[in-house]
Structure 1
Amino acid sequence: MLAQSFEEFVNSLQLDNLDDINTKFRTITKRLNMSYYDGSTSEEEHGYKVGSLGRQTAIRGISDMDMLFVLPKSKYTQYNNYEGNGQSALLQEVKNELRKRYSNEKIIVRGDGQVVVITFSNYEVEVCPAFENKDGSYTYPDSNHGGTWKRTDPMVEIGESEYMIDHTNSHFKYVCQMVRAWKNNIGFKMGGLLVDTLVHKFFTKNPDYVTATFEDYLFLFRDLFSYLKGQNKEQKYWRALGSRQHVYDKGKAFINKAEKVYNKIKDLTEESEDLYEKLQEIFGITFPVPETVQKAELSSFAYRSASALATTEQYIEHMFPVDIKYSLKIECEVSAKGFREGLLRVFIRNKKPLLLARKLRFYIEENEFKEKHKDMPIPVPFDIYWKVRNRGQEAIKRNCIRGQIKEGTSQIEESTDFMGGHFVECYIISNGVCVARDRINVPIFETPFHMKVKS
């Protein structure tokens, strides 16, 4: 039964827009071949899907496609000898060539100055112009700091991923995809290459799991999260699978997040009463719960009452594709009678109780998406959504579970009223995709507490 749930969940993670992505890829490749290879109309030559799509570890909701287009050597000579920032000039030329095909889409050189970005509905294509080296690696432009050339070796990474997928009967791919689902559900930034690299290292260090099946997944993920939480926070980089290029993770948020998950999963068995509840907390609300388990839960009066009211709750996964690429942090200011008492996270850390008649102002403290795009030549719009969820017997009794997701501004105001393990979530939506999310728990079990939106 559990194995079937894991298998169904993995199936639900597979890409549902691959045909559209492939069409865009072929069209872009054809346009650039026409521009750089004597009018060639080939839809395949010189173009390569790289990144998680190339490594076959992408999941449904992916918001970007990474591709390389290999330019003639003459272009390298031209822009290497360019007076000024040749790398920037090369990117601008490729952008102008793409405009001949995509005149209505937004086409920019991204803020990191390494790719040309074409924005479509729900996802972007990041085109990296490159030059092939004798060893099979590629040289690509970086327009920052006056312009430099950099090296990348994605084909070796793709080859190693393909080998591991075959070697593990596709379970390397599935585990990489489920780690992405965990990252998207919890809401923290972790690069796809780092995900695949660490999962690769895990399988290498634990060869018994090479022959794993879905029957083994509960124990596999227990050991995987144990491995992830054990990573060195002082480590500057990891060596990528295949290429061994440096893979960085500045914040290393995944280490603490993995420790929390490990503590949830370490004692679980298939007989645990809260098994599926915990797995949904880890991997998201779409993790399948068997019908027999649902029927058993429905036998509880409390569960029936909660289920009847929980129809008010909405889930961001049902409203937008989720692909977390940026960090987001929300905070809450607690005040009484106009005087500031402190921050909610500090209250919780110090086990200081919230009292009645307190005002709570939830606000965005850090929004990496906004910071990353503030200097772009064309403003990148985004929307902010909030969710306030009340939990506990008092919320059920008062028919006040709430949980609707509503568009808002950078802050909302709430007030205390009754007990429960409540929470507030915030989401950043860009181009129809949830690219950042954060949650702040309000675990009040001894102090009456409830949240009412003021504005």
Structure 2
Amino acid sequence: MDVLFVLPDSVYARFFLRSGNKQSQLLQEVKSVLANTFNNTQIKGDGPVVVVPFSAYNLELVPAFSLLNGQHWICMTENGGYYKNADYKAEADLIQSSNEATNGKTRHLIRMMKRWQAYCNVPIKSFWIELIAVEFLNTWEHRKKGMTWYDWMVRDFLIYLESKPHAYLYAPGTYEMMYIGDAWLSKAKTARQIAIMACGYEADFPITAGNEWQKIFGTDIPKFL
């Protein structure tokens, strides 16, 4: 779950006066404040997000400052620290448009694949999952069909994802080019293999299929409906 946390301008002014990696310091301060509330959770500051891991999902909090053009500055900690433009309205509009065009499948697919990301500890950014889900559903032939096609949707998404190592994605609004590497590829291949098996079991062995799906998503999903 991604949450944009817009900070007041006074926080920017306070950190502007500091020396060193100001963005890292800001994230660490947010992390410390959250740690006082979630004292049983191992919170991580990993620019540009502060990650609060829960059992069912990871909460990714994005501290940001509002800009006059409607975009935001977010904290990047590498290379001594700097602020980067992000256009969350453009991102939200992209997902909403895709969601409307697919009868709600975009948001459902994103949630499912983020569950896979968290449960299987997949080293892929949540933002990348969102963009790739939109890409995939734009051309998926069953995008207008009902929820009974969700098993095929997950399977076909993983097949599509497996074709994306070393690809580039473009951030909506800012058009930043992002290289996604392949650190996530082996886990995507494993999940794709499991999803193919699960789909094959669905008709005649639904409980066996459920066992396979739980290898991808964990026990939060039932074995059988």
Q: In the alignment, does 2:14 pair up with 1:69?
A: no
Q: Which runs of 5 or more residues in structure 2 are unaligned?
A: none
Question: What is the DSSP-based 3-state SS (H/G/I as helix, E as strand, rest coil) of the residue aligned with 2:197?
Answer: helix
Alignment match, 1:200: 134
Note the 1:28-67 alignment, pairs <5 A.
Answer: 52-53=1-2, 66-67=3-4
RMSD: 4.2
Distance 1:185 1:127 in 2: 19
Distance 2:75 2:120 in 1: 34
Alignment match, 1:172: 106
Distance 1:83 1:134 in 2: 24
How many residue pairs end up in the alignment? 218
Aligned-pair identity in percent equals 18
How does the TM-score come out when normalised to structure 2?
0.69
Note the 1:7-156 alignment, pairs <5 A.
Answer: 52-53=1-2, 66-72=3-9, 76=12, 79-80=15-16, 82=17, 84-85=19-20, 87-88=22-23, 91=26, 95=30, 106=39, 110-112=44-46, 114=48, 128-156=62-90
**For the pair shown, which has the larger CA radius of gyration, 1 or 2?**
1
Residues 239-265 of structure 1 deviation map (CA, whole Å, 9 limit, x = unaligned)? 346665426355033442244235425
Question: What is the DSSP-based 3-state SS (H/G/I as helix, E as strand, rest coil) of the residue aligned with 1:135?
Answer: coil
Distance 1:141 1:104 in 2: 22
Q: Which runs of 5 or more residues in structure 1 are unaligned?
A: 1-51, 54-65, 291-455
By percentage of residues, which structure has more strand?
A: 1
Residues 137-185 of structure 1 deviation map (CA, whole Å, 9 limit, x = unaligned)? 2113345543322222223212222232233222222222233344455
Alignment match, 1:257: 190
Task: Specify whether residues 189 and 269 from structure 1 end up closer, same or farther in structure 2 by C-alpha distance, changes over 3 A only.
Answer: same
Q: Is the 8 A contact 2:75 2:82 kept in 1?
A: yes
Distance 2:49 2:174 in 1: 21
Distance 1:102 1:134 in 2: 31
Deviation at 1:117, TM superposition (A): 7.1
How does the TM-score come out when normalised to structure 1?
0.39
Letter in 2 for 1:281: E
Letter in 2 for 1:180: K
Q: In the alignment, does 2:156 pair up with 1:223?
A: yes
Letter in 2 for 1:287: P
Task: Specify whether residues 240 and 166 from structure 1 end up closer, same or farther in structure 2 by C-alpha distance, changes over 3 A only.
Answer: same
Q: Is the 8 A contact 2:206 2:224 kept in 1?
A: no
Letter in 1 for 2:8: L
Q: In the alignment, does 2:185 pair up with 1:248?
A: no
Q: Is the 8 A contact 1:91 1:116 kept in 2?
A: no
Question: What is the DSSP-based 3-state SS (H/G/I as helix, E as strand, rest coil) of the residue aligned with 1:210?
Answer: coil
Question: What is the DSSP-based 3-state SS (H/G/I as helix, E as strand, rest coil) of the residue aligned with 1:238?
Answer: strand
Distance 1:89 1:188 in 2: 24
Alignment match, 1:163: 97
Distance 1:154 1:78 in 2: 24
Q: Is the 8 A contact 1:112 1:144 kept in 2?
A: no
Question: What is the DSSP-based 3-state SS (H/G/I as helix, E as strand, rest coil) of the residue aligned with 1:211?
Answer: coil
Deviation at 1:190, TM superposition (A): 3.2
Deviation at 1:201, TM superposition (A): 0.8
Alignment match, 1:189: 123
Q: In the alignment, does 2:224 pair up with 1:289?
A: yes
Task: Specify whether residues 104 and 225 from structure 1 end up closer, same or farther in structure 2 by C-alpha distance, changes over 3 A only.
Answer: closer
Q: Is the 8 A contact 1:190 1:249 kept in 2?
A: no
Letter in 2 for 1:176: I
Alignment match, 1:239: 170
Distance 2:117 2:51 in 1: 24
Letter in 2 for 1:228: L
Q: Is the 8 A contact 1:194 1:247 kept in 2?
A: no
Distance 2:23 2:173 in 1: 30
By percentage of residues, which structure has more helix?
A: 2
Task: Specify whether residues 288 and 127 from structure 1 end up closer, same or farther in structure 2 by C-alpha distance, changes over 3 A only.
Answer: closer
